[in-house]
Amino acid sequence: MKKQPLWTKDFLSISVTSFFLFMGFYVLLTTLPLYILDDLKGDETQVGLIISVFLIAAVISRPFTGKWIDEVGRRKILLASLIVFAVSSLLYFWAESMPALLALRFLHGIGFGMATTATGAIVADIVPNERRGEGLGYYAMFMNLAMVIGPFAGLTIVQYSSFLWIFTLCTVLSFIAILLGLFVNIPQKTEGSVKHPKFTLSSLFEKNAIPVAISAGILAFAYSGILSFISVYAKELDLLEAASFFFVVYAAFIIMSRPFTGRWFDTYGENKVIYPAIILFAAGLLVLSQANSTFVFLLSGAVIGLGYGTIVPSLQTVAIKQADPAKRGLATSTFFTLFDTGIGLGSYILGILAVKTGFSSLYFMLAGVALFGLLVYYLLHGKRTERKTIHSEADLPL
């Protein structure tokens, strides 16, 4: 039977929309600390607060967005969230004090949380069912590219120009995202196709996605140590120049592996991909903890890219597969709510821990956290999947 096409206009439109969203996010993530310290004369505590407020707003908005996109419709919520994101980007031109910037970051975080939840739910509807692992893997690759290009573009602009050009770039990127969002043809059967129960806390989460989302949150906690402290660790090792290439190597290995891992997921099942990916992630953290040269430092980026870069789209695919088709929006928001919570808690807790243990010991411990995430995944989902597979094979005619 002929495979259904994956690289359609709609798939490309929503993937590139996501790329521009995440590129704007990463441009500001890497340059706003400098803006606070240099232009607003703030301190490191305020830098951490600016990052935390954005993430808290995104986490708060996701469960509500998951409920709304299944009830109100994907297109309406997508366009509304993209407009909130774009208006927030424009308002940075007038954010000239810490209180104003904090309020703006909260609004921007709401737009980001809503928009990324909506795009995640839409792409799950667009990709063919039998190619969902492959499709979501390629979709995640666009986010990985933004993670490399965004910081590079932002830091280059800051080096040669003013922050006005940073804010101009982010505004342009966000309005391009709106234009691309208009071209996405969202399947009509998913538009407002389900009514969730009356508002309760449980109505904001898809219970079938929670086990996998818990595993993702634990692994995200471990990954937050890289997101938050890799440049500080590199400076400690006198490898600061290598730090700028860490995510380049990381993304390069994700891109090289993506054509294979997504297909393996669809062909052999989630466990055959997720177990090795988590082990690779733990191994990469272990290598990073022992880094004493540029080669070892960048080698850890390659191994982590192969592992963690495969984990996120794979677990997201499982979360969506566990949910009723009409509740994919809620499943997506449930997954990313716990995922973002893991990163947020990790950034705060690991910062305190690093002061006491040092970064080498911290990354060694995080390798253990990753393996703990493997155990949790096995207990909450993997074991049940294996049991189903054994029963299915037993029912086959001899």
The domain boundary, picked from 186, 215, 248, lies at 186
Euclidean distance between the first and the last CA atom of the chain, given in angstroms as a whole number: 24
Task: Please tell me what DSSP assigns to residue 108.
Answer: H
Tell whether 29 and 118 lie within a shared domain: yes
227 and 323 share a domain? Answer: yes
- In-domain check, residue 237: yes
Does residue 261 share a domain with residue 175? Answer: no
Q: Are residues 178 and 210 in the same domain?
A: no
Q: Do 51 and 19 share a structural domain?
A: yes
Residue in this structure with the two tokens 């993937």, named with its chain if needed:
15
240 and 315: one domain? yes
- Mean pLDDT in the chain? 83
192 found inside a domain: no
Are 219 and 324 within one domain?
yes
User: What DSSP line would sit under 33-60, residue for residue?
Assistant: HHIIIIIS---HHHHHHHHHHHHHHHHH
Q: Dump pLDDT digits (tens) for 183-216.
A: 888 766 544 445 555 555 556 778 888 899 999 9
Q: How far apart are CA 357 and CA 389, in angstroms?
A: 43
CA 366/CA 362 separation, integer angstroms: 6
- Residue 363 resides in a domain: yes
In a domain, 194, yes or no: no
Q: Do 119 and 251 share a structural domain?
A: no
User: Pick from 186, 214, 235: which residue ends a domain?
Assistant: 186
* Number of Cβ within a 10 Å radius of residue 246: 24
* The token pair that represents 121 in the structure block: 């739910």
Residue 303: C-alpha distances to residues 81, 253, 277 (Å): 35, 8, 10
Within 8 A by CB and 6+ apart from 83, the residues are 178
- The band of 90, judged by pLDDT with boundaries at 50, 70 and 90, is very high
- Confirm whether 195 is domain-assigned: no
Tens digit of each residue's pLDDT (9 = 90 or more) over 1-14:
556 788 888 889 99
Same-domain status, 175 and 278:
no
Q: Are residues 219 and 139 in the same domain?
A: no
pLDDT digits (tens, 9 = 90+) for 262-292: 788 888 888 999 999 999 999 999 999 999 9
pTM, to two decimals: 0.76
Structural domain boundaries enclosing 320:
205-398
Residue 291, both tokens:
């880094």
Task: For 293-341, write each residue's pLDDT tens digit.
Answer: 999 999 999 999 899 988 888 898 888 888 777 777 788 788 888 888 8
| Any domain includes 156 | yes
Assigned domain for 182 exists: yes
For residues 225 and 334, state if they share a domain. Answer: yes
* Diameter over CA atoms, the chain: 75
In this structure, what CATH number is given to the domain that contains residue 176? 1.20.1250.20
User: Is the residue at 86 inside a domain?
Assistant: yes
Number of structural domains the chain divides into: 2
Pair 78, 47 in one domain:
yes
Q: How many residues does the chain have?
A: 398
Q: Between residues 286 and 73, which one has the greater pLDDT? A: 286
CA distance 242 to 225: 17
